[in-house]
């Protein structure tokens, strides 16, 4: 990756893209790949999903959506796993493309699911929300131990009010490493007018900025994006010669947070209704 870049789409561009993905999911296929010894990308070209092997079962970070479940399932299998190996599911935020697959996975395995309480209203608002079981709401800043992996959830509102980022401590080549997954870097729908229409708190853009300023200080060694558009992990995968060191880029986490902070500052400065 020569230069860090991160993409901002308007709400209408996003709606158009989403309609196309749901109509032509096979156009958004992507190969799975291994990131570190115990972390695997199993999402598609649009939305990420990660498996983490804890030694005592698999963690799944985000669960994809109906139209792409065949791609998701194939990617999990290609990495040598089965849905039935999943023991813990962590959902980053209350948007369909991150949780629609949860119920299907729960039907195949006895797993525990975490969901952000602050996004429950999004499930309740949605008429066709699929049924699934929520075992836990996140308790922020309290680590969760899953096998040999420690996960600390942080509330990072903005993209949604309950948007949750996860910080995963594991080992790579005998060294401790921190993996960072921001729950949702998208800034669509954050103008004052759009916030008022949705009935969300009007200071959501400020909260987004403040949360990024806080988490940019966390020493993240490996950035795993939930949408490749915000951090191009696919090009790192293409450069990986098999030793996975290409993913260790501690400067990138701060770099991407800085780009997103600049973008939200622009949005606020140009928001005529503010």
Instruction: Name the residues that contact Zn ion, by CB under 5 A.
Output: 95, 184
Dist CA 194 CA 271 (whole Å): 10
The residue nearest Zn ion at its CB is 95
Shortest distance (Å) from residue 160 CB to Zn ion: 6
Q: Which is nearer to Zn ion, 95 or 244 (CB)?
A: 95
Which contiguous run of DSSP H or E holds residue 82?
Answer: none
Q: How many CA atoms lie within 13 A of 1 on its CB side?
A: 21
Q: Is 113 exposed, middle or buried (0-12, 13-18, 19+ CB in 10 A)?
A: buried
Q: Which is nearer to Zn ion, 25 or 184 (CB)?
A: 184
Q: Assign residue 169 a region (left: φ > 0; alpha: ψ between -120 and 50; beta: otherwise).
A: beta
Which contiguous run of DSSP H or E holds residue 196?
Answer: helix 192-198
Shortest distance (Å) from residue 188 CB to Zn ion: 9
Shortest distance (Å) from residue 77 CB to Zn ion: 26
Q: Which is nearer to Zn ion, 96 or 253 (CB)?
A: 96
Q: Which two tokens stand for residue 170?
A: 């594991």
Shortest distance (Å) from residue 116 CB to Zn ion: 12
Q: Which is nearer to Zn ion, 157 or 184 (CB)?
A: 184
């Amino acid at each position: 990756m020569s230069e860090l870049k991160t993409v901002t789409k308007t709400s209408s561009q996003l709606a158009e893209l989403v309609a196309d993905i749901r109509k032509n999911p096979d156009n958004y296929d992507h190969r799975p790949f291994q990131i570190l010894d115990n972390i695997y990308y199993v999402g598609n070209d649009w939305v990420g999903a990660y498996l983490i092997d804890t030694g005592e079962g698999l963690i799944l970070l985000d669960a994809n959506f109906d139209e792409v479940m065949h791609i998701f399932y194939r990617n999990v299998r290609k990495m040598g796993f089965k849905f039935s190996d999943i023991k813990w599911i962590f959902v980053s935020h209350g948007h369909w493309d991150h949780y629609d697959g949860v119920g299907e996975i729960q039907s195949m395995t006895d797993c525990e699911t975490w969901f952000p309480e602050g996004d429950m209203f999004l499930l309740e608002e949605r008429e066709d929300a699929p049924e699934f079981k929520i075992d836990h709401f996140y308790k922020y800043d309290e680590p969760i131990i899953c096998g040999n992996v420690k996960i600390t959830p942080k509330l990072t509102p903005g993209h949604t009010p309950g948007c949750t980022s996860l910080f995963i401590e594991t080992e790579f080549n005998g060294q401790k490493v921190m993996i960072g997954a921001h729950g949702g870097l998208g800034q669509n729908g954050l103008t004052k007018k759009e916030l008022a229409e949705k009935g969300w708190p009007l200071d959501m853009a400020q909260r987004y900025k403040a949360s990024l300023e806080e988490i940019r200080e966390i020493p993240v060694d490996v950035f795993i994006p939930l949408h490749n558009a915000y951090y191009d992990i696919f090009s790192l995968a293409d450069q990986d010669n098999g030793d996975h060191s290409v993913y260790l880029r501690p400067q990138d986490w701060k770099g991407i947070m800085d780009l997103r902070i600049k973008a939200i500052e622009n949005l606020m400065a140009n928001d005529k209704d503010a």
